[in-house]
Amino acid sequence: MSNDTDTAAGIDIDRDKGDFHYDVEYKHDAGRGLTEDTIDYISKVKGEDEWITDFRKRALKIFEDKPMPTHWASEDLKAINFDEIRYYLSGGDAPKRSWEDVPDEMKETFERLGIPEQERKFLAGVEAQFDSEAAYSNIKAAVSDQGVIFVNSSEGLAEYPEIFRKWFGKVIPSGDNKFSALNSAVFSGGSFIYVPPGVKVKHPLQAYFRINAEQFGQFERTLIIVDEGAELTYMEGCTAPKFETATLHSAVVELVAMKDAKIQYITVQNWSANVFNLVTKRGLAHENAEIRWIDCNIGSRLTMKYPGVVMKGRKARGEVISIALANDGQHQDTGAKMIHAADETTSNVVSKSISVGEGRSTYRGQVHIPKHLKGCKNNTECDALLINSASRTDTYPAITVRGNQHATQHEASVSQVSEEQIFYMKQRGLNEAEAISLSVNGFVNDLVREFPMEYSVELKRLIDLEMEGSVG
């Protein structure tokens, strides 16, 4: 298969696992469009304190004043009609602690997605969000007995204000970017987690975000604080049905790792191709703390996501490991931000992207090491694989290193599945599609091993689905 082959066709993907929806009667509906009345409605439904309402309205003003990021992805972003989006939809019920109490249509949704089975097998707790609010939230007794808090953000705000308010909006201020401001104005759902000093949560906590409604915006707000010497792995999954109209997911995720703490945040997204996934994720690592983002981006019309770590304390460590797969009509604009703010801090970025058909993948990274620091290290690797002659990939690494007492290295590569490789595998009984799928899995295999077993199996399945019909 040479660069001049006619294998530019994309893939008609069977997303049967996530491509379904139910007609749901919503008790609370803020209507279409975004004004101060929308915020008043959300705050009233949630029974929020005045300071939160004021916070939301200040963020709305920032959102309105900030221009769209037209210097990249501008054509895709023009497809978002903010006046047609519904910003809050809720059935009106508090999240259920027992699976049997979840409303039938929501329970069936998450049963089809395998959430109860995952919870029984290997999770310490689950939160399942349906549109704007959590439908189910449960944490194992053995974990809660250790003082671990795992609730949705609305509950965290109401029940644990002394912890929540201290860090809320501190890692990612409302004015960070246009979409963090949008989230700050209308956020609902998401997870609040607090792990006390010295507690090492042995099994992952998981949140699952489901969009069911058409022309809807989901605005998850997640805040995770892991106290001194504690450890946590958190996983999130995302799906939505395929609609003809644009759907928006605009999340803000803030992580705080105190001294000697460790946080591992794993995402496997499988959005349908009508979803705009515009997400701001950042962690703050104190002395000798570690924050790892493990990120798999499959699906969506446009993803703009650049997980970051601010290494605030001496010997703090930050890492981003990411996989992005762009199919026809999709743009995966992903990357990482590593901000060194203390001596002897270490960061590592490993990015693998695959472009199929006329899909486009972009790596956009930032590494900053100021002059006054000493003994900092960074490694950045950006590797791209092109499946078809019309596939596209771009790499924009911005690495700024001041001073001469640091160690940095950068490696980037772009390759195409070779004719010889495909020929070799076909001689051993594989068809061309199977051969390409095997090549792609080999390309990402070293990163897939970073995922828990249950997720790595699912990730390989999703990649195989994406590769079906990629030739012809």
Give the domain ranges of the chain: 28-269+280-297
Nearest Cα residue to 466 out of 241, 297, 267: 297
Span of 153-167, 377-391, 427-441 with lowest mean pLDDT: 427-441
pTM score of the predicted model = 0.91
438 or 292, greater pLDDT? 292
Q: Cβ(271)–Cβ(239) under 8 Å? A: yes
pLDDT in tens, 177-199: 999 999 999 999 999 999 999 99
Looking at the predicted structure, is the pLDDT value of residue 425 above 70? yes
Looking at the predicted structure, is the pLDDT value of residue 229 above 70? yes
Alpha helices by DSSP H, 168-290: 178-186
DSSP for 331-343, written as a single string: EEEEEEEEEE-ST
Nearest Cα residue to 274 out of 241, 315, 307, 250: 241
Distance separating alpha carbons of residues 266 and 320, to the nearest angstrom: 10
Phi, psi of 157, deg, nearest 5: -65, -40
Report the SS3 class of residue 263.
strand
Looking at the predicted structure, is the pLDDT value of residue 260 above 90? yes
Q: Say what the pLDDT of residue 100 is.
A: 85
The share of the chain scoring above pLDDT 70, in percent, equals: 91
pLDDT in tens, 316-361: 999 999 999 998 889 999 999 999 999 999 999 999 999 988 999 9
Alpha helices by DSSP H, 8-160: 36-46, 50-65, 74-77, 104-112, 115-122, 141-144, 153-159
CB burial of residue 315 (10 Å; 0-12, 13-18, 19+): middle
Q: Say what the pLDDT of residue 56 is.
A: 98
Q: Cα dist. 36→189, 252, 268, 361 in Å?
A: 20, 21, 34, 37
CB burial of residue 372 (10 Å; 0-12, 13-18, 19+): exposed
